[in-house]
Amino acid sequence: MYFTAGPAELYPRFEEYLQEFVDEQLGSISHRSGQFKKIYQHTDEQLRALLSIPEENAIMFTGSASEIWEKSIQSLVEFESFHLVNGSFSEKYYQYSQALGRQADALNKPMGEGFSYGEITVPEYAELICVTQNETSTGVQTREADIHKLKRSHRNKLMAVDMVSSAPIPELDFSLIDSAFFSVQKSFGLPAGLGVWIANEKCLKKAKQLKSKGNSLGAHHDLPSLWKNAKNYQNPATPNVMGIFLLGKVAEDMNKTGLEAIRKQTDEKAKMIYKFFEKKDGYEVFVKNPDHRSKTVAVINTERPSSEIINHLKTKNMIVGAGYGPGKDSQIRVSNFIANTPEQIEALLNEIEKF
């Protein structure tokens, strides 16, 4: 059982869907064929239904989420971006903007702390506000209401939301959020190698403006070319057909269960995890403010070296992650993804209780 923050425990029906992919020889079909377009369309429709994504928006596929960090800066920022930084992933998004020669501004918070709307001042000339909804390195979330308020008070700026390690759990309003993205090896429970980029027409307009002024959007699949292809259920190059196929199947499954039920179960499991560690001697929930605790990745301080706990759990066939960066030896990270069933979480907590 994998309680890692990604790659993670696989979706229960992954093997069945993979077998279907093999049986139908989909690994050999042309990515320009009608058969492929049907696969893309199915995944597009299932994701749209799952996340309530408006018709106008495009759903585009890349190789990873970090690729979308780069592309979103290249296509949406001429001069200046603004980042909420409170851990390693939000920091990297900020560094991508710097590396691309943009002026990147950041509001920084210490590890383990989150952002609330009232304390955020966005620089006047920032074109893109970059928010990491779930900071995987520290187990900190930014609540949807805060993200929505931030966007509403800056309607003339674009907003990009990194929801890589929480999608589809956050209830983001896609009629408001300009751009959001995730990859599939976290809460969708699939093998890595596919990034999903959702963007609205304001993003497309901005990218076209930059291009028409002579700015480079990068050579590899800029937003306008991904957009144009996506609207025809295509990709500029040969995409990860297997990943797109599997994502469509898993999203369809989630639609059948109902996202509301999935969100409720995620909340209940998260409560179980945090309640356990709040009471357990030798452990401490890293994120002090309950409102800022991630629903999908719990970071726990450990009194003894985290490797002792991780190694013990390994003997019970349970794989738990170490802390990220500076927290490596003194923290564990426990995923609470959709594929982590209540029974698995219970079994893990029982094992830690006994240890």
Ligand X SMILES: *Cc1c(COP(=O)(O)O)cnc(C)c1O
* Interacting residues with ligand X (CB under 6 A): 6, 64-66, 89, 132, 134, 136, 162, 164-165, 183, 195
Pick 65 or 198: Cβ nearer ligand X: 65
Pick 96 or 174: Cβ nearer ligand X: 96
User: Which amino acid does the sequence have at 332?
Assistant: I
Contact 81, 127 (CB under 8 A): yes
User: What is the spatial distance between Cα 206 and Cα 33, in angstroms, rounded to a whole number?
Assistant: 31
DSSP, collapsed to helix, strand or coil, labels residue 297 as strand
Smallest gap from residue 155 Cβ to ligand X (A): 25
Smallest gap from residue 197 Cβ to ligand X (A): 11
Smallest gap from residue 68 Cβ to ligand X (A): 8
Phi, psi of 97, deg, nearest 5: -65, -45
User: What is the spatial distance between Cα 6 and Cα 123, in angstroms, rounded to a whole number?
Assistant: 33
Pick 334 or 352: Cβ nearer ligand X: 334
Smallest gap from residue 52 Cβ to ligand X (A): 22
Contact 59, 48 (CB under 8 A): yes
Alpha carbon 21 to chain centroid, angstroms = 25
Pick 191 or 224: Cβ nearer ligand X: 191
Contact 168, 52 (CB under 8 A): no
Pick 92 or 208: Cβ nearer ligand X: 92
User: What is the spatial distance between Cα 330 and Cα 78, in angstroms, rounded to a whole number?
Assistant: 41
Pick 210 or 250: Cβ nearer ligand X: 250
Pick 200 or 335: Cβ nearer ligand X: 335
Smallest gap from residue 338 Cβ to ligand X (A): 15
Cis, peptide link before residue 7, omega less than 30° from 0: yes
Smallest gap from residue 64 Cβ to ligand X (A): 3
Alpha carbon 24 to chain centroid, angstroms = 30
Name the DSSP letter for residue 141.
E
User: What is the spatial distance between Cα 261 and Cα 132, in angstroms, rounded to a whole number?
Assistant: 24
**The two structure tokens encoding residue 35:** 């058969």
Smallest gap from residue 87 Cβ to ligand X (A): 8
Pick 158 or 194: Cβ nearer ligand X: 194
**The two structure tokens encoding residue 172:** 């983001």
**The two structure tokens encoding residue 302:** 């450990």
User: What is the spatial distance between Cα 44 and Cα 59, in angstroms, rounded to a whole number?
Assistant: 7
Alpha carbon 151 to chain centroid, angstroms = 19
Smallest gap from residue 130 Cβ to ligand X (A): 11
